[in-house]
Amino acid sequence: MVTAVAQRLASQRKEIDDTLATFTLSTTQLQEVKAKMRVELERGLKKDTHPTASVKMLPTYVYRTPDGTERGKYLALDLGGTNFRVLVVKIRTGMRNSVRMYNKIYAIPLEIMQGTGEELFDHIVQCISDFLDYMGMKNTRLPLGFTFSFPCNQTGIDKGDLVSWTKGFKATDCEGYDVVDMLREAIKRRNEFDLDIVAIVNDTVGTMMTCAYEDPKCQIGLIAGTGSNVCYMEEMKNIELVEGDEGQMCVNTEWGGFGENDNIEDIRTRYDREVDGGSLNPGKQRFEKMTSGMYLGEIVRQILIDLTKRGLLFRGRITERLKTKGIFETKFLSQIESDRLALLQVRSILQSLGLDSTCDDSIIVKEVCGAVSRRAAQLCGAGMAAIVDKIRENRGLDHLEITVGVDGTLYKLHPHFSTILKDTVRELAPNCKVDFILSEDGSGKGAALITAVIDKYLYAMRFSDETLRDIMARFRREMENGLGGDTNPTATVKMLPTFVRSIPDGSEKGDFIALDLGGSNFRILRVKVSHEKKQTVQMESQIYETPEDIIHGSGSRLFDHVAECLGDFMEKQKIKDKKLPVGFTFSFPCAHSKLDEAVLLTWTKRFKASGVEGMDVVKLLNKAIKKRGDYDADIMAVVNDTVGTMMTCGFDDQRCEVGIIIGTGTNACYMEELRHIDMVEGDEGRMCINTEWGAFGDDGTLEDIRTEFDREIDRGSLNPGKQLFEKMVSGMYMGELVRLILVKMAKEGLLFEGRITPELLTKGKFETKHVSAIEKSKEGLTKAKEILTRLGVEPSEDDCIAVQHVCAIVSFRSANLIAATLGAILTRLKDNKNSPRLRTTVGIDGSLYKMHPQYSRRLHKTVRRLVPESDVRFLLSESGSGKGAAMVTAWASRES
Ligand code: 0WK
Ligand code: 0WK
Ligand code: BGC
Ligand code: BGC
């Protein structure tokens, strides 16, 4: 006699089983899901079906996984999972896994997640600022990798428009906009620190990279957490949205969108539709809403409500709590399903939700949780089976061995999710042996590794302030070596006395000729300095050629050429009958014994005329003039262009006591205390020292910061082993440095799809003026396209972005290094004056400093950071060093 209760229980049981059965997927159904997923993967990859595909297959511009050569220090942001993290990652090569990381977790309040885009990115920047403060890194411009766990249409590694928010995010004015731009804008708004955002990566990609660093077979990244998504390395030839057929690129599948075209309606339940209807993005992310941590708890809650309404649970009593959205968190599933938990504990969880439950209730709740999480794991398994089988077919293999890097709280914390997922993959993709490795360090490490891969050649060109201060100290020591009587002979930085003992004092007057040789132009000037009411200077000048065969020919031919040009100039000035005092700006290292006696130590830059090094250039010029016999000139002074520049600027600003050239070559001079200059008699007063800092490092002191590209430049130069500092920073070599890096990156397939053209391989084809043009903020990329097209490499848009990035790194290094050596001169001046704070003016000239759009700003900023106890005015020499040379000549004429 079956009691009514037993019957009622049995029919109740059946009703519950029928409900749970809608979550039970047969192998056939799972194979169908796998097949449908495969179709959507293909539709996402193909150009014509991509727009309507539900699985978007977004290109990531990550072409390969780490190979262990990555190294450097990087910042990383990790936004979009449970926690927002800011990290600093230090990667060292040698031992395979030598990565040190430090991170801080910051909350993203709901009102920020769902406020305005500006508030969200200001909040992110606020957190970065706090982190940099905490780490004492506010002044280091580190490269940053940004893990942004939302679908982005990327057009380059550092360019990605947000397609649509998912999970709990809904900030306004973000969808359709470039995430990197929004972050850069927010950093600008805060105006407190500067970062170089090198890459934006999806968390699946970051996870794959993090795990691939440990296991090279890892070519898939899976997130089973708040959200659900996968990426994998696809063959370029299958990615129709991106140019090129060679090699691979990582594709962010965004499989969360699977089903948005109604192709899995057969397995979606009414509870899934409830959850979707109540979500922030109804109709979207249907697969995610069946598989990820943000929604599983909600699905369970919907089922519990339905079973309770039908009187099958909690004695039909629905509590307010149970009606509260999000109250049944996914972590409860993990807790309830963990075998360790006795039913009692299930009851206490239900208790905490204000649900009075019986033992049976607890069992049913546990079954419901199990059914929901099992389906989620199986669905992910079916999706993964489609991915690994596609990769196997891509490679034409019968059997594939591959590793999946995984992260996400659902996979990590749920007691059965990972096992069921693996079992499903094994069952549905029997020809694939798939290993799963958990990402211990999160995707931030992966983001840093991606930054390192891109930055591989460039990271060595980034210097922290710590390194710059070290270089400053090294240069300071070289200055002391150069000034010291016993150390000067072996010093690399020669600290040459110029016999210029003061800057203009306003008393100068007269009619002078100035020659200006050694920069990009050979200029002859007539300089009239008069004293009507106030001292005025009138100048007329003419530029003359210095053909290659002249500057590479014999010294006598060179000076004959100079004398000929001078003759021509005097002709035009109708002063051939006059013997005007001449000031000779000779922009090369000369050992002076007096103002008008200067022995050339060594040629630099483009000059290589024979028979001049070791000779007095005044004698050589006088000899050439005498040989002509058609005019006479009185060469009163030879000055270096740095000295001429200091004097020219000193004419307008009495505080100017430093002269710098950042042009074809680079160099600096400054007013040193005579008592410190052992090579010159006397202790009173000051004398201008031509540092010849271009030779800094010629003794190997900079080997730790010189790169393979610097060495290649030097090997191909007119004076190998010499002027090593100059070759790292000056305009004569900057374009070539960039060209060598582009060739290397192209060879590695990181640029121009590996296209290497004869033009790109031609020395000097990429000029420094191109670097300046490409770094112009507005038209830079257009210029890049133009210049690279002329080199025949048919650049893509992201090639242009990458090239702009390379230019920025190379020119930034130059500005930073010169800031360091200038910093050493400024601190020496401050010490010489024994004053707590230095107030001074630096006269500056040179085409790189003048033409490059960002150079001067970067130099000024770094100098102010490296020498905080100084007020430095940078005064651009408008009229060139010829005027300065005339000032020196005026002084020399007075003395003679
Ligand atoms: C940790 C990763 C992060 C990712 C998260 C996903 O570092 O990039 O978004 O896992 O898991 P969730 O926190 O959403 O469970
Ligand atoms: C202009 C000066 C000249 C100096 C030149 C350096 O008048 O003495 O040599 O600047 O700049 P560059 O022409 O090498 O870029
Ligand atoms: C996003 C993905 C992300 C996944 C895991 C999804 O909602 O669309 O970009 O990878 O969550 O965090
Ligand atoms: C020379 C210096 C000169 C500098 C800037 C260097 O190559 O050695 O004497 O000042 O170029 O023109």
- Ligand 4, atom 2, lies closest to the CA of 588
- Ligand 3, atom 6, lies closest to the CA of 227
Residue 69, pLDDT > 80, answer no
Task: Give distance in angstroms: CA of 880 to centre of ligand 3.
Answer: 58
Q: What is the mean pLDDT of the chain?
A: 93
Closest CA to 476 of 870, 824, 838: 824
Secondary structure (3-state) at 484: coil
Task: Give distance in angstroms: CA of 309 to centre of ligand 3.
Answer: 34
Structure confidence by residue, pLDDT tens digits, 99-128 = 889 999 999 999 999 999 999 999 999 999
Rounded Cα distance between 264 and 258, Å, is 8
Residue 172, pLDDT > 60, answer yes
Cα angle 351, 353, 355 (rounded to 5 degrees) comes to: 55
Task: Give distance in angstroms: CA of 416 to centre of ligand 2.
Answer: 72
Residue 207, pLDDT > 70, answer yes
Pocket test for ligand 3, best of 84, 147, 223 (most atoms within 8 A of CB): 223
Pairing mode of beta strands 72-79, 597-600: unpaired
Rounded Cα distance between 147 and 203, Å, is 6
* Tally of CB atoms within 10 A around 610: 13
Pocket test for ligand 1, best of 152, 230, 409, 449 (most atoms within 8 A of CB): 409
Q: Please state the rounded mean pLDDT for residues 580-595.
A: 96
Task: Give distance in angstroms: CA of 177 to centre of ligand 3.
Answer: 17
Three-state secondary structure of 75-110: EEEEECCCCEEEEEEEECCCCCCCEEEEEEEECCCH
Q: Please state the rounded mean pLDDT for residues 846-869.
A: 95
Structure confidence by residue, pLDDT tens digits, 289-325 = 999 999 999 999 999 999 999 999 998 988 898 999 9
Rounded Cα distance between 67 and 609, Å, is 47
Under the banding of pLDDT at 50, 70 and 90, the label for residue 339 is low
- Lowest mean pLDDT of 83-87, 497-501, 752-756, 862-866, name the range: 752-756
- Ligand 1, atom 9, lies closest to the CA of 81
Q: Note the pTM of the prediction, 2 decimals.
A: 0.65
516 lines ligand 4 (CB under 6 A): no
605 lines ligand 4 (CB under 6 A): yes
Task: Give distance in angstroms: CA of 149 to centre of ligand 3.
Answer: 5
Closest CA to 724 of 454, 475, 894, 543: 475
Under the banding of pLDDT at 50, 70 and 90, the label for residue 344 is confident
Task: Give distance in angstroms: CA of 228 to centre of ligand 3.
Answer: 6
- Ligand 1, atom 11, lies closest to the CA of 408
Residue 533, pLDDT > 80, answer no
Percent of the chain whose pLDDT exceeds 90: 79
* Angle between helix 731-747 and helix 797-833 axes, rounded to 10 deg: 140
Q: Please state the rounded mean pLDDT for residues 697-705.
A: 95
CA distance readout (Å), 499 to 154, 574, 784? 60, 32, 46
Task: Give distance in angstroms: CA of 529 to centre of ligand 4.
Answer: 27
pLDDT of 94 reads 55
Residues with CB under 6 A from ligand 3: 80-81, 149-151, 166-167, 202-204, 223, 225, 227, 229, 254, 256, 288
HSE-CB for 842 with a 13 A CA cutoff: 27
Among 523, 706, 813, 828, the active-site one is 523
Task: State the ligand closest to the CA atom of 145.
Answer: 1
- Lowest mean pLDDT of 332-336, 423-427, 473-477, name the range: 332-336
Under the banding of pLDDT at 50, 70 and 90, the label for residue 507 is confident
Under the banding of pLDDT at 50, 70 and 90, the label for residue 97 is low
Judge whether 206 and 200 are in contact, CB under 8 Å. no
Structure confidence by residue, pLDDT tens digits, 131-170 = 999 998 887 778 899 999 999 999 888 889 999 999 999 9
Task: Give distance in angstroms: CA of 156 to centre of ligand 3.
Answer: 19
Task: State the ligand closest to the CA atom of 718.
Answer: 4
Residue 774, pLDDT > 90, answer yes
- Ligand 2, atom 9, lies closest to the CA of 519
The more confident residue out of 234 and 81 is 234
297 lines ligand 4 (CB under 6 A): no
Rounded Cα distance between 189 and 184, Å, is 9
Pocket test for ligand 2, best of 546, 692, 881, 888 (most atoms within 8 A of CB): 881
Report the atom number in ligand 4 closest to the C-alpha of 641: 10
Pocket test for ligand 2, best of 525, 645, 771 (most atoms within 8 A of CB): 645
pLDDT of 336 reads 92
Pocket test for ligand 4, best of 608, 692, 719 (most atoms within 8 A of CB): 692
Rounded Cα distance between 431 and 573, Å, is 89
- Ligand 1, atom 10, lies closest to the CA of 408
HSE-CB for 153 with a 13 A CA cutoff: 12
Among 196, 407, 455, 641, the active-site one is 641
Rounded Cα distance between 676 and 550, Å, is 39
Among 292, 357, 587, 877, the active-site one is 587
Which amino acid is present at 91?
I
pLDDT of 158 reads 86
Task: Give distance in angstroms: CA of 765 to centre of ligand 3.
Answer: 44
Rounded Cα distance between 282 and 302, Å, is 16
Rounded Cα distance between 280 and 323, Å, is 17
Residue 730, pLDDT > 80, answer yes
Closest CA to 583 of 630, 629, 641: 641
pLDDT of 454 reads 63
Residue 84, pLDDT > 70, answer yes
Rounded Cα distance between 376 and 304, Å, is 18
604 lines ligand 4 (CB under 6 A): yes
Residue 1, pLDDT > 80, answer no
Catalytic, 587? Answer yes
Provide the sign of the torsion angle of the four alpha carbons 158, 164, 166, 172, taken in this order.
positive
Q: Please state the rounded mean pLDDT for residues 504-530.
A: 93
Q: Please state the rounded mean pLDDT for residues 657-682.
A: 97
Report the atom number in ligand 2 closest to the C-alpha of 845: 10
Task: Give distance in angstroms: CA of 517 to centre of ligand 2.
Answer: 8
Number of helices (H) and strands (E) in the chain: give both, helices first.
Answer: 29, 26
CA distance readout (Å), 62 to 449, 456, 841? 11, 13, 47
Residue 314: burial class (beta carbons within 10 Å; 0-12, 13-18, 19+): buried
Residue 341, pLDDT > 70, answer no
